[in-house]
Amino acid sequence: MILGVNKQIFQLKRNADGTYCTELVNKKWIEKSYYKYLLGTIQYSELKPNSTLYFSKSSSFPRLKLENSCFKRCIKISKADYVVVDPSSITTNDITVQYFNMGDDMCIVTTYDLHYRQKEIETFLGYELPEIKLMTFYELSEKRADLIELILHPSVKFITDDTLNKAINAGDQVLDLESMHSIHGMLSSKDVESVELGLKMLTSFNIDETPLTISTMLLMNQRWYMTNARDNVLVQNMLKQLNISNKRSSSGFPYNIHYLATDLKNNNFSENDKQMAKELIIEKTNDYLQSKISSDVEFFKNYGINVNIKVE
């Protein structure tokens, strides 16, 4: 099954005795430009409250987040107001093949055969090889096949994982200073259960309101990365939304928050969000610097010198 190609596709194969044959390609592929064309036809809709949702196989949205929300889930497209999709979750590894037209069909040929066995091939065909062309395919994976079927389905309204996530987050509580310090203490704890509890508690807050503060907490305290709670679907959704995996550093503080500098320049964070993140960094930096000089403080005191470093 080759979607987007109105021809049968054969593979030119060399037998053990040196003769050639053609074999029908039985691959689940879709022609690359046709797939991109189909994606371009998707019209995303504005999500209305109290809607019924059907989740495509491409969606990675955690279904648990629908609990206590105004949205309902269904398992039949015919009963859905919207279909939730995430085309970006589908791998885009492609396959490029060389081929030549063989009557009304096309025939795939390898580079090796073209260079070293062209005469043999032409003898088998009974004519000179025509122009060699290139065509690129995507594998028709389960997710991609499901998405294509939905695109071709009549009267389907689409929304993305991000659209649904923002709609649900709008009803979540906003992180405040008291909650920030409480969860920050949990994440920096040496007790694994406290770290896991703090990580899960973060998922109950509206990420869009304080993304900088939440990212700062996660990057400053990286014990959560080694816990089982990291695999929780709500936690995974939060990490994906914050793009933490591309910012995390194993070098520890302060290197692991350097990645936020670009975010500060390129995003319009609220003043409240920036102020809370600043408070976290000042507190952590003071602790960090004091730990670096603590062993030398007593030495300086012998000379009547008081050493104190404070970042404000």
Query: For residue range 142-183, what is the model confidence (pLDDT) as tens digits?
Result: 999 999 999 998 888 999 998 998 888 776 788 898 999 999
Token pair of 130 as six digits = 């025509």
Residue located via tokens 């062309």 = 133
Residue range 96-119: mean pLDDT, rounded: 91
The answer, yes or no, to whether residue 108 has pLDDT greater than 90, is yes
The answer, yes or no, to whether residue 105 has pLDDT greater than 80, is yes
The answer, yes or no, to whether residue 12 has pLDDT greater than 70, is yes
Q: pLDDT grade, residue 245 (50/70/90)?
A: low
Token pair of 302 as six digits = 């012998």
Q: pLDDT grade, residue 6 (50/70/90)?
A: confident
Residue range 22-30: mean pLDDT, rounded: 88
Residue range 218-228: mean pLDDT, rounded: 85
| SS (HEC) of the chain | CEECCCCCEEEEEECCCCCEEEEECCCCEEEHHHHHHHHHCCCECCCCCCCEEEECCCCCCCHHHHCCCCCEECCCHHHCCEEEECHHHCCCCEEEEEEEEECCEEEECCHHHHHHCHHHHHHHHCCCCCCCEEEEEEECCHHHHHHHHHHCCCCCCEEEHHHHHHHHHCCCECCCHHHHHHHHHHHCCCCHHHHHHHHHHHCCECCCCCHHHHHHHHHHCCHHHHCHHHHCHHHHHHHHHHCHHHCCCCCCCCHHHCCHHHHHHHCCCCHHHHHHHHHHHHHHHHHHHHHHHHHHHHHHHCCCCCCCCCCC
Residue range 127-143: mean pLDDT, rounded: 91
The answer, yes or no, to whether residue 249 has pLDDT greater than 60, is no
Query: For residue range 255-308, what is the model confidence (pLDDT) as tens digits?
Result: 566 666 666 666 778 889 888 888 888 887 777 777 767 667 667 777 777 767
pLDDT of residue 61: 86
Q: pLDDT grade, residue 100 (50/70/90)?
A: very high
In percent, the amount of the chain with pLDDT more than 70 equals: 88
pLDDT of residue 60: 86
Q: pLDDT grade, residue 99 (50/70/90)?
A: very high
pLDDT of residue 261: 61
C-alpha triplet 199, 200, 206: angle, nearest 5°: 95
**Mean pLDDT, the chain, whole residue set:** 85
Distance CA 227, CA 161 (A): 26
Query: For residue range 28-84, what is the model confidence (pLDDT) as tens digits?
Result: 889 999 999 999 999 899 999 899 999 999 998 888 888 778 899 999 999 999 999
Q: pLDDT grade, residue 233 (50/70/90)?
A: confident
Residue range 102-122: mean pLDDT, rounded: 90
Residue range 245-254: mean pLDDT, rounded: 59
Highest-scoring range by mean pLDDT, 66-70, 193-197, 243-247, 262-266? 193-197
pLDDT of residue 239: 85
Domain boundaries, the chain: 2-167, 177-274
Residue located via tokens 């004091």 = 290
Which of 102-111, 171-180, 228-237, 259-268 is least confident?
259-268
